[in-house]
Structure 1
Amino acid sequence: MPVVLSLNVAQKTAPADHARVGATGIDKRPVDGPLRVSPPGAKGTAGSGVAGDSIADWNAHGGDYQAVYGYAREDLDWWQSELGTELGAGQFGENLTTQGIDHTNALVGEHWRIGTALLEVTGPRIPCRTFAEFLGQRGWVKRFTQAARPGAYFRVLEEGLVGPGDEITVVHRPGHDVTVELFFRAVTTEAALLPRLLAAGDSVPPEVVELVHRRSAVELDS
């Protein structure tokens, strides 16, 4: 049975020279919960969708399409083996550390019922310098990208309470083939895949839809 192993939040942002805005909320720690999750608002105007969670750079993180970030314990265990170091819940900046459900092959637009909330998969996490510096791993952005185990972002379709031990149930799977992994490869290493993201409709963040259209316009002009 897929479950939430840990609910993690950053209770305050921390100063960070390597972060674009001079602070970061990546250092998320397990809490007892449950906590309310709700739509925070448009990107750039709001932070996390998890009550009590802090995000420093609202232009890069947070907002409705990145309201909640999930990562599988199975993928953390894989990285533990690769890196030779212990990785605790929240170590990748995830709000939900899960067990028994695959984020990488989830379809963009899937609906997950967790606790009393309904979440929708909206895409992958893209690695950044802050993530690399927090982990203390040289070449981390390239390594994380090559592994293509990005975890999944969610928007909140129905607000509610989510906590450790809550069962995760996939209640809807869309009819396209746009997985979190395909999305990740499209926006990192394989731009030719970008047009395929449009099959996921309004589950794709608006800024990514804009990117697809810009690239298509450039190709038409060339």
Structure 2
Amino acid sequence: MKVISVNVGEPKTVMIDGKPLTTGIYKEPVSEPLFVTKLNFNGDGQADLVHHGGYDKAICAYPSEHFIKWKKQYHRPFSSGAFGENLTLKGLTEDEACIGDIFSIGTAVIQLSQPRQPCFKVAKRHGLSDLPLVLQKTGCTGFYFRVLQEGIIQQGDKLTLIERSLTPLSVRYVNRIYYMEKTNVEAMQKIIAEPTLSESWRKALTKRLSTMISE
């Protein structure tokens, strides 16, 4: 497992469909080592701080293995930073990555907190209106990390798994329950019980369960 690319970018306003859109989804690869804090990489930023960034979503990561799939489906190339990710990874996909996994990477220590929720800005960036829904349905969403120990990360760094939950829940499994099996009460309870799950996903699943129970 290693870092193919480190990608950062500050929010900017672009014209899409004749309308201005302020977004931080345009991330560009950098070759130099970058320091990552508990909130983000130096030189990086998000426009929508309600849905992006913060302690539980300090680092967005995306598996490079998916690029071939999207190239075949959409007949265009996808490269590092294409999905607004900070880390483009090799060897760690949604199938292997589990909520709560702790990795050493460079001089930092990071913990997987939740799947990535693809938003409309991914569609706008690529001019592909169906892309967010396709990412959800396939489970190829990417995922977020919180930073347990601040440090320096650079291209080529290896990820070393140093701790895993006693009840590992893969990102693909959590995605399936969240997006596809929306009435699977037992599975949602199991996911909510994972103490390292991000607060935003815990609240969302708890709200869904409460709604189902009250109906």
TM-score, L = length of structure 1: 0.87
Partner Cα separation in structure 2 for residue 106 and residue 134 of structure 1: 26
Structure 1 residues 199 and 161, CA gap change in structure 2 (3 angstroms): same
Partner Cα separation in structure 2 for residue 184 and residue 221 of structure 1: 24
Corresponding residue of 2:113: 122
Structure 1 residues 213 and 84, CA gap change in structure 2 (3 angstroms): same
Which ranges of structure 2 fall in alignment gaps of 5 or more residues? none
Structure 1 residues 58 and 185, CA gap change in structure 2 (3 angstroms): same
Which ranges of structure 1 fall in alignment gaps of 5 or more residues? 41-48
Q: CA deviation at 1:36?
A: 0.9
Within the candidate set 73, 91, 104, 1:82 is matched to 73
Asked if 1:31 is matched to 2:24, the reply is: no
Within the candidate set 176, 190, 211, 2:181 is matched to 190
Asked if 1:99 is matched to 2:90, the reply is: yes
Identity %: 29
Partner Cα separation in structure 1 for residue 103 and residue 72 of structure 2: 29
Q: Secondary structure at the match of 2:70?
A: helix
Q: Secondary structure at the match of 2:148?
A: strand
Equivalent residues, number = 210
Question: 1:71, 1:103 within 8 Å by CA — same for their partners in 2?
Answer: no
Q: Secondary structure at the match of 2:193?
A: helix
Corresponding residue of 1:200: 194
Within the candidate set 201, 206, 209, 2:202 is matched to 209
Q: How well do the aligned residues superpose, as a CA RMSD in angstroms?
A: 1.8
Partner Cα separation in structure 2 for residue 213 and residue 145 of structure 1: 20
Structure 1 residues 138 and 207, CA gap change in structure 2 (3 angstroms): closer
Partner Cα separation in structure 2 for residue 121 and residue 218 of structure 1: 28
TM-score, L = length of structure 2: 0.90
Encode CA deviations 1:6-43: one digit per residue, 9 max, x unaligned. 1001144233568xx94101010001121111112xxx
Partner Cα separation in structure 1 for residue 76 and residue 125 of structure 2: 14
Partner Cα separation in structure 1 for residue 128 and residue 212 of structure 2: 37
Question: 2:10, 2:46 within 8 Å by CA — same for their partners in 1?
Answer: no
